[in-house]
């Protein structure tokens, strides 16, 4: 009986997707619905929660710190896209080139930072970008006669540190995605293009880039999500969730501050729902624009 059940062609697909469905329901749908409900509540430690209607959301609309967090996250996301899509793509093409020496070495050394824990990396970057004369970046700048910079106290310089960390960490990962995309482009295309007299640049723009489009869309999608959900990098860089003038505060950081640090779980849930909405809107728009929802020919 069991055998028949397991071998049944009708049942098998459901058995296979069951783990995913379960995980999705328990760790995604349930928390989502639950936080949606919480976002309409006032929740205090040790007391029954009470219904707060739209109070949390209306407070959020006039909350300047939240606005600052949204702007920070958005800028961070855009800048990571600007850096972490073109450059890894370029590096991937370079490394994929047969004339390139030490390909395996570069591949692994680019990927290595991704294996390092954010906590360790963040702490090291914090020390590197320290404001003392003796900290790494400032001592290098000192060689050129530049006065010590208080990196982690200024908006622009703070973002320089934050983006250096992101670039150092994620270039290798995105590069690997592009490399795997490049592998699927047949050599024949390039040969044919060579015969037709196409230059390297033309080959890159006419063959490589269009054929890498699916990978690019994938990297773009996860980068948008990762950019908006960034939290630990900022937390490690500023040694806590509170950066001077909130220059490093992100949406998730604000959610953490409200929910965990201030015990204001209802309000934090509202922040989370807004973050979800922002991410969904941006990503769905992006996917619609890049034609992912069109039926394949």
Partner 1 sequence: MKVNKWFILLAALSLVLFMSGCGKSSGSAGGEQSVLDGGAGDNATELSYWTFVELHGKHFEKMLEKWNAANPDRQIKLNVTVMPYDDMHNKLSIALQTGTGAPDIADIELGKFPDFLKGTPQLEPLNDVIDPYRDTLVKSRVDLYSKDGVNYGIPTHVGASVAFYNTEILQEAGVDYTQIVTWDDFKKAGIQVYEKTGKSMGTADTSATWQESMLLAQQGADFTDEQGNPKVNSPEMAKALTILKDLQDNNVISTIAGGQPDTEEAYGEFNSGKYATAFMPLWMMSRYTNYMPDLSGKIAIAPIPVIEPGMPRSVGGGGTGTVVTKTAKDIQLAKDFLAFAKLSEDANIEIWNTLGFDPVNMDVWNMQDVTHNPDNEFVKYFINNPFDVLNEIKDEIKLIKSVPASPTINNVLNTVTLNEIFEDGKDIQQALDDAQKQIEQELK
Residues that bind partner 1 in the complex, under the rule CB under 8 A: 6-7, 12, 15-16, 18-19, 22-23, 27, 44-47, 59, 62-65, 130-132, 150, 153, 240-246, 260-263, 265
Would you call 156 exposed, middle or buried from its count of C-beta atoms within 10 A (0-12, 13-18, 19+)?
Answer: exposed
Nearest-approach distance from CB 63 to partner 1, in angstroms: 7
Nearest to residue 231, comparing CAs of 214, 254, 215?
A: 254
Nearer to partner 1, 25 or 192 (CB): 25
What is the Cα 77 distance to its own chain's centre? Answer: 7
Nearer to partner 1, 8 or 109 (CB): 8
Task: List CB contacts of 231: < 8 A, sequence separation 6 or more.
Answer: 250, 252, 253, 256
Would you call 189 exposed, middle or buried from its count of C-beta atoms within 10 A (0-12, 13-18, 19+)?
Answer: middle
Nearest-approach distance from CB 260 to partner 1, in angstroms: 5
Nearer to partner 1, 26 or 281 (CB): 26
Nearest-approach distance from CB 292 to partner 1, in angstroms: 29
Beta carbons of 271 and 57 less than 8 angstroms apart: no
Nearer to partner 1, 213 or 262 (CB): 262
Nearest-approach distance from CB 61 to partner 1, in angstroms: 12
Beta carbons of 85 and 219 less than 8 angstroms apart: yes
Write out the two tokens for 25: 């329901």
Nearest-approach distance from CB 100 to partner 1, in angstroms: 39
Nearest-approach distance from CB 143 to partner 1, in angstroms: 20
Nearest-approach distance from CB 150 to partner 1, in angstroms: 8
Would you call 179 exposed, middle or buried from its count of C-beta atoms within 10 A (0-12, 13-18, 19+)?
Answer: buried
Nearer to partner 1, 47 or 156 (CB): 47
Nearer to partner 1, 94 or 260 (CB): 260
Beta carbons of 238 and 230 less than 8 angstroms apart: no
Strand partners for 42: 50
Nearer to partner 1, 151 or 177 (CB): 151
Nearest to residue 42, comparing CAs of 26, 29, 58?
A: 58
Nearer to partner 1, 44 or 108 (CB): 44
Nearest-approach distance from CB 6 to partner 1, in angstroms: 6
Task: List CB contacts of 286: < 8 A, sequence separation 6 or more.
Answer: 220, 221, 224
């Amino acid at each position: 009986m069991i055998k028949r059940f397991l071998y049944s062609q009708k049942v098998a697909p459901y058995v296979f997707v069951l783990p995913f469905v379960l995980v999705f329901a328990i760790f995604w749908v349930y928390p989502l619905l639950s936080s949606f409900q919480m976002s309409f509540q006032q929740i205090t430690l040790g007391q029954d929660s009470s219904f707060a209607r739209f109070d949390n959301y209306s407070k959020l609309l006039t909350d300047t710190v939240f606005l600052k967090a949204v702007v920070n996250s958005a800028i961070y996301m855009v800048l990571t896209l600007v850096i972490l899509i073109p450059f890894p793509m370029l590096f991937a093409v370079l490394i994929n080139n047969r004339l390139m020496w030490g390909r395996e070495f570069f591949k692994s050394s680019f990927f290595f930072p991704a294996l390092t824990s954010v906590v360790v990396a963040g702490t090291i970057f914090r020390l590197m970008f320290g404001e003392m004369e003796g900290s790494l970046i400032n001592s290098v700048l000192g060689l050129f006669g530049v006065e010590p910079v208080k990196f982690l106290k200024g908006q622009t310089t703070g973002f320089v540190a934050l983006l250096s960390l992101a670039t150092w960490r994620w270039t290798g990962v995105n590069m690997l995605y592009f490399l795997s995309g490049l592998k699927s482009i047949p050599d024949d295309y390039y040969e044919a293009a060579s015969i037709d007299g196409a230059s390297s640049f033309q080959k890159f723009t006419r063959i490589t880039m269009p054929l890498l489009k699916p990978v690019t869309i994938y990297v773009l999608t996860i980068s948008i999500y990762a950019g908006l959900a960034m939290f630990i990098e900022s937390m490690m860089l500023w040694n806590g969730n509170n950066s001077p003038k909130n220059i490093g505060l992100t949406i998730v950081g604000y959610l953490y501050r409200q929910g965990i640090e201030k015990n204001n779980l209802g309000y934090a849930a509202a922040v989370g729902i807004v973050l979800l909405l922002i991410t969904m809107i941006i990503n769905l728009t992006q996917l619609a624009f890049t034609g992912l929802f069109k039926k394949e020919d």
